[in-house]
């Protein structure tokens, strides 16, 4: 059963997760933008990982625009963001990215974030989001956390969840888990 791993990454966290999942699952690996969709028919398990920006999983619309071609395949999506994965953040991601309408597995993997390494435009967006959030009493606490992150980089790699996802892929391959 052939496995495909696609990813959308800007600073490398999502790419590293995708590479490791592909390596341990004996899968083919491509950046989403480089994949030739006509080759999708070769695969029975399809994994997509995208980084989170303003609650949106990057690349997901492009990936899901091929949903009809994934009929009968097992589909796994993971999102890499700097937030600590919780049930609530998972539900928010599912809602904001309209994933509830699809039959797929969805996982969160905490990625790294280093403000000092951001591209200028990303710093600008980040700073503006903090400003906007700090004006609203409901999100002021979150703005404080984000402000703290600016001088305290997050270095995160969730080995346990990577192993879990690889285990799920293995189970699908040997027929122990449903597609
Ligand atoms: C402008 C901007 C917005 C972001 N928004 C979110 C967000 O809404 N939720 C989150 O968990 N992480 C957010 N992040 C953090 C990234 O998703 C995180 O650093 C991710 O691991 C980056 O993946 P990459 O290294 O593959 O690019 C944001 C980062 C930037 C620069």
List the CATH number of the domain containing 87: 3.40.50.360
Q: Please tell me whether residues 39 and 74 are part of one structural domain.
A: yes
Q: Please tell me whether residues 123 and 164 are part of one structural domain.
A: no
The protein residue whose alpha carbon is closest to atom 2 in ligand 1 is 53
In a domain, 11, yes or no: yes
Q: Please tell me whether residues 83 and 24 are part of one structural domain.
A: yes
The angle that helices 120-135 and 140-151 make with each other, rounded to 10 degrees, is 150
Q: Please tell me whether residues 91 and 10 are part of one structural domain.
A: yes
Please report the pLDDT score of residue 56 as a whole number. Answer: 98
CB 74 within 8 Å of CB 39: no
How many separate domains does the chain show? Answer: 2
For residue 58, the CA-to-ligand 1 centroid distance in Å is: 10
In a domain, 178, yes or no: no
Q: Token pair of 87, please?
A: 């049930």
Q: Tell me the pLDDT band of 82, cut-offs 50, 70 and 90.
A: very high
Q: List phi, psi (to 5°) of 52.
A: -95, 135
In a domain, 26, yes or no: yes
Q: Please tell me whether residues 132 and 84 are part of one structural domain.
A: no
In a domain, 179, yes or no: no
In tens, the pLDDT along 98-154 reads 999 999 999 999 999 999 999 999 999 999 999 999 999 999 999 999 999 999 999
Q: Please tell me whether residues 56 and 129 are part of one structural domain.
A: no
Q: What ligand 1 atom has the least distance to the C-alpha of 154?
A: 19
For residue 109, the CA-to-ligand 1 centroid distance in Å is: 11
Q: What does the alpha-carbon distance between residue 13 and residue 83 come to, in Å, rounded to a whole number?
A: 13
Q: Please tell me whether residues 83 and 34 are part of one structural domain.
A: yes
Cα dihedral: 108, 112, 157, 101 (round 10)? 10
Q: Please tell me whether residues 14 and 82 are part of one structural domain.
A: yes
Q: Please tell me whether residues 119 and 108 are part of one structural domain.
A: no
Residues with CB under 6 A from ligand 1: 9-15, 51-55, 80-83, 111-113, 118, 122, 125-126
Q: What does the alpha-carbon distance between residue 119 and residue 122 come to, in Å, rounded to a whole number?
A: 5
For residue 113, the CA-to-ligand 1 centroid distance in Å is: 7
In tens, the pLDDT along 28-73 reads 999 999 999 999 999 999 999 999 999 999 999 999 999 999 999 9
The protein residue whose alpha carbon is closest to atom 4 in ligand 1 is 53
Q: Which domain holds residue 138?
A: 115-153
The best mutation among 12, 53, 54 to test binding of ligand 1, ranked by most ligand atoms within 8 Å of the C-beta, falls on: 53
């Amino acid at each position: 059963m052939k496995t495909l791993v696609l990813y959308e990454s800007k600073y490398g966290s999502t790419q590293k997760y995708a590479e490791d999942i592909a390596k341990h699952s004996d899968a083919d690996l491509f950046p989403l933008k480089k994949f030739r969709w006509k080759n999708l028919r070769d695969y029975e398990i399809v994994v997509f990982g995208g980084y989170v920006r303003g609650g949106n999983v990057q690349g997901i619309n492009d990936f899901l625009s091929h949903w009809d071609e994934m009929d009968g395949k097992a589909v796994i999506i993971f999102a890499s963001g700097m937030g600590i994965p919780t049930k609530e953040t998972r539900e928010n991601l599912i809602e904001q990215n309209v994933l509830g309408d699809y039959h797929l597995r969805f996982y969160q993997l905490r990625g790294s974030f280093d403000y000092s390494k951001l591209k200028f435009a990303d710093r600008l967006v980040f700073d503006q989001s903090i400003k906007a959030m700090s004006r609203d009493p409901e999100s002021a606490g979150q703005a404080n956390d984000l402000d703290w992150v600016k001088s305290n980089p997050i270095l995160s790699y969730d080995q346990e969840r990577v192993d879990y996802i690889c285990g799920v892929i293995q189970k699908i391959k040997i027929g122990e888990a449903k597609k």
